[in-house]
Structure 1
Amino acid sequence: MSWPHVLEAFDLLDDPAVNGAAVADFLRRHGAEEPVVTPVTGNKGSTDFVRVVIPGSRGRSAGGDAPTLSVVGRLGGLGARPEQIGFVSDGDGALTAVTVAAKLAQMRRRGDVLDGDVVIGTHICPDAPTQPHDPVPFMDSPVEIEDMNVHEVDATADAILAVDTTKGNRVVNHVGFAISPTVKEGWILRISEDLLAVQQRVTGRAPVVLPLATQDITPYGNGVHHVNSILQPATATRAPVVGVAITTEAPVAGSATGATDLHSVDAAARFCVEVAKDFGRGALRFHDAAEFERLVALYGPMTALQTPGKRD
């Protein structure tokens, strides 16, 4: 169970003075060895990126050959102060990532060592701006998506789980979390049966899938509607990316306070931990590599969808 870590992490992050150093100290207390904090200032404020590696027994950090999983906690900010007081719904991605890091670090310290390395990254900003969005307002970010991708998308990752609050829509009407089809190099591939099986065993319920349009996987800033930023990491890597969307039955604004359902966060965190276990030991695939190669051979690359596209 990750429940104690969820409660501790939520209490830590629901603080107007929280910063990357406080999160790094929290992770060290749970056994993380070398969390890295990188302050970044943008046009709309500043934030602290936090990155931590949980080494595996056969991971690359130990000279082994086990695959590396990355977990990205994607968000605009933990809070929208001074416009809103308290932890906002948009912070669930960071809350999940910090919970996963604390849980995996504690597991490793106790002797439950995974096979592969797990790299967790997110950013810590208690006072991010907001922006208009239909059907409910979005949280904005003090830094650009490109900055997030630089600091959160690990170049060594063989697969990425991108966790993001995904409540401001009418396409998933479910309290809990949904997973997206696999996105790789501009292709929206079939959803991983292995990941559906993990979701089913973690929740004890039928899997829930986040539908994607092609425009959802293109970079921000191209003038088209995106469901949110959950698949933005896929624009900056060749690794397969799957979104872990924390969802609600009715649309909820990312800037809404009192809207974080800790049971949903706990379920998403347990999903990430279980995927890390299975992926590192080679028991889980994000996509069928041979089928992907066949698609590219038949229809050509789709990497143009990872770029800003043609300019007028």
Structure 2
Amino acid sequence: MLRHVLEVLDFLDSPTADGPGTIGILERFLGDLDPSTSELRPLLETQRVVGDRGGTDFVTVTVPGRRGRMADGEAPTLGIIGRLGGIGARPEVVGFVSDGDGAAAALAAAASLLRMWRRGDRLEGDVIVSTHVCPDAPTLAHDPVPFMDSPVDVATMNWYEVRPEMDAVISIDTTKGNHLINHRGIALSPPVKQGYILPLPDDLLRIQEIVTGGPAVTFPLTTQDITPYGNGLRHINSILQPATATDAPVVGLAITSAAVVPGSASGASHEVDIALAARLAVEVAKEFGAGTAVLYDAEEFAKVNDLYGSLAHLQTLDGARDESVLDSMEVN
């Protein structure tokens, strides 16, 4: 996995990094496929979206499973989302920035899954990996350190990255600009589903401990963190924003630091930590599709809904999903 991370980072650390180039890098891991085979093949897609503050390229990789929906099976589909504002903040900052770690981890996970598929290792369920590539994103004032902004807003990111086929989502994001997580490596959030912050299942803690070789590390969430951006409330960052656009459970996988590090800082990415996040995502994909790991307790969720009712209104702005922003976007 570390080799995948190094190759992905080498490509992303460029002012010309884009979606087509990212697809080209990933196709190397897939290799040449036999044109005569009728087997379902991985799908690699990119789409450029341009708004008032610039543009970015969304990248999606779908790897079919042995019993996944693409094969008309019933195995669940895991979504792996690399969440970020941008991989670079040019011209203000030269080079790959800390905020890009989520994209690097997701793309390294995609590379690993594609290589596995090429070699004949098939997971049970489908896996959809999505992120976006923007080497010149703006920055945003924030306390205690500046955030990376994005040329498109979170509603647009969710529109292109959160797919309805996803039965659960691992959202990977750099989460270093805070005083809450004083640990370098990775950390898991509680699962969030339809406005509820739920207990972390033992399955995820077990997988995290296996991958890291150390004790499980988690981080807290507030109600504000799981509401949509744009409501004027304080958020830890955008790591749980996919939870505002799906009814599936979403778990945040944070790439963390022991000190407060701005997302707009260059030279702040640790390849080994990115590889940890990518490996955890792949291991969760293996077990989730096979039914040996879950991302939330379905019975507990049903019980809390019966007792206290739906909290789905926390997923909305002013009581309704705001998709009007998409009308101003130019899709290429």
Q: TM-score normalized by structure 1?
A: 0.98
Percent identical across equivalent pairs?
Answer: 55
Aligned counterpart, 1:7? 6
Q: Distance in 2 between matches of 1:33 and 1:297?
A: 40
1:288: how far off?
1.1
1:33-80, Cα deviation, whole Å (9 max, x unpaired): 431111001121100000110110111111111000000000000000
Contact 1:186–1:305 (8 Å) recurs in 2: yes
User: What is the 5 A alignment of 1:75-94?
Assistant: 75-94=84-103
SS in 1 for 2:43: coil
Contact 1:74–1:162 (8 Å) recurs in 2: yes
The runs of 4+ residues in structure 1 deviating greater than 2 Å are: none
Letter matched to residue 176 of structure 2: K
1:304 to 313, 316, 329: 313
Q: Distance in 1 between matches of 2:52 and 2:219?
A: 32
Where does the alignment leave 5 or more consecutive residues of structure 1 unmatched? Answer: none
Letter matched to residue 138 of structure 2: P
Letter matched to residue 53 of structure 1: T
User: What is the 5 A alignment of 1:156-171?
Assistant: 156-171=165-180
1:106 to 115, 130, 133: 115
Letter matched to residue 22 of structure 1: G
Aligned counterpart, 2:58? 49
Q: Distance in 2 between matches of 1:298 and 1:33?
A: 43
1:112: how far off?
1.1
Aligned counterpart, 1:122? 131
Q: Distance in 1 between matches of 2:256 and 2:230?
A: 24
Q: Distance in 1 between matches of 2:186 and 2:51?
A: 31
Aligned counterpart, 2:226? 217
SS in 2 for 1:35: strand
Q: Distance in 2 between matches of 1:214 and 1:114?
A: 35
Aligned counterpart, 1:134? 143
SS in 1 for 2:62: strand
Q: Distance in 1 between matches of 2:56 and 2:215?
A: 37
1:309: how far off?
3.4
Contact 1:75–1:94 (8 Å) recurs in 2: yes
1:291: how far off?
1.2
Q: Distance in 2 between matches of 1:292 and 1:139?
A: 34
SS in 2 for 1:120: strand
Aligned counterpart, 1:70? 79
Aligned counterpart, 1:23? 22
SS in 2 for 1:30: helix
Aligned counterpart, 1:282? 291
User: What is the 5 A alignment of 1:246-285?
Assistant: 246-285=255-294
The answer to whether 1:36 aligns with 2:57 is: no
Question: Aligned Cα RMSD in Å?
Answer: 1.0
1:310: how far off?
6.2
SS in 2 for 1:39: strand
1:193: how far off?
1.0
1:182 to 191, 195, 206: 191
Letter matched to residue 54 of structure 2: G
